[in-house]
Amino acid sequence: MFRRLTVSALLVLGMAACQPIDKNLEAEDSRNPHFKKAESYTEAKNYVEAVREYEAALQANPNVATAHYELGRIYGEKLGDEISSMYHFSKFLELRPTSEKRESVQALLDNAKFSLATKLPNSPVANAEMFARLQSENANLKRELEEVQSRVARLDQQQQNAAAAVSTPAPAPTATPTAAPEAPKATPVAPVAHPTTPAPAAAAVVPVAPSTAPTATPAATAVTEARSHTIAKGDTLWKIARKYYKGDVNANMDKIKAANASQVDFTKPLKLGTVLVIP
């Protein structure tokens, strides 16, 4: 019995040794059945199934370097797995050290290492990128601040010129007193003769001049014409106060609020086109 079993086992091994090896599993192109499926899955953007087929190709033949190359690309570019991408690119370079793709694969490997380094906490690469970005943002903010300061200086100068031209008061007219009317002169009345009794002499009647004293016309007071401001895009109460007044901006803002409290709700954003009275 033992002899029969031994013979049967040898026959089975011999038959297996005589079976031809599937050469397509050694191919690194569409002749390999796993490559065919992987390519179709990649075209359909089903990268998980494509990875399974390339891994199956490597299980059938670990020396299929192209499978390592494709896996490195899918892991790095599509799945964001830099560690797996680095492994497969390294295996490709190990199996094909003289390949025409060596330089490009080495560049892909370096990019995967750099991408992984930027994701690590407290990475020098990540810190350097953050520092460079902060420097750029700081430079932009400084440039914008300088532009704003320049515009504010120009507006202040224009405001001062306009205030100097408008605020010069006109001379007040002086009142000219009117002369009082002259009192009329008294005329004597001749006495009337009576036939029997002489009439006493009539006393001269002197009319009394009117007691109206000359009054001076009050000096005309200079009336300052009320100013107004129509709210335009970009206006704020602070800007308006700076435009029309000097000194304490907060006090001037309160002055404008008080003059317009009946028509404007200053607790809300200013509406375009609203006309403010500038006291």
> Tell me: the pLDDT tens digits for 187-235?
555 544 444 444 444 444 445 444 444 444 443 333 445 688 999 988 8
50: tokens are 């494509």
**How does residue 74 score in pLDDT terms, banded at 50, 70 and 90?**
very high
pLDDT at 181: 56
**Same-domain check for residues 48 and 98:** yes
- Residue 178 belongs to a domain: no
Return the closest-CA partner of residue 77 out of 69, 85, 65.
85
pLDDT at 247: 82
Place of tokens 């033992």: 2
**Same-domain check for residues 108 and 128:** no
| pLDDT digits 0-9 by tens, 21-71 | 456 777 888 889 999 999 999 999 999 999 999 999 999 999 999 999 999
**Same-domain check for residues 25 and 66:** yes
How many C-beta neighbours within 10 Å does residue 63 have?
11
pLDDT score of 75 more than 60: yes
**Same-domain check for residues 72 and 152:** no
Return the closest-CA partner of residue 105 out of 120, 89, 119, 91.
89
End-to-end CA distance of the chain: 124
pLDDT score of 2 more than 70: no
**Whole-prediction pTM:** 0.38
pLDDT at 214: 44
CATH of the domain at 112: 1.25.40.10
Q: How far apart are CA 153 and CA 147, in angstroms?
A: 10
Q: Domain tally for the chain?
A: 3
- Residue 163 belongs to a domain: no
Choice among 58-72, 171-185, 246-260 with the minimum mean pLDDT: 171-185
**Same-domain check for residues 33 and 101:** yes
CATH of the domain at 256: 3.10.350.10
Choice among 31-35, 168-172, 266-270 with the minimum mean pLDDT: 168-172
Structural domain of 132? 124-158
44: tokens are 């359909």
**Same-domain check for residues 43 and 100:** yes
pLDDT score of 6 more than 80: no
**Same-domain check for residues 29 and 97:** yes
**Same-domain check for residues 112 and 44:** yes
CB 51 within 8 A of CB 76: no
| pLDDT digits 0-9 by tens, 105-138 | 999 999 989 888 888 776 665 566 666 777 788 7
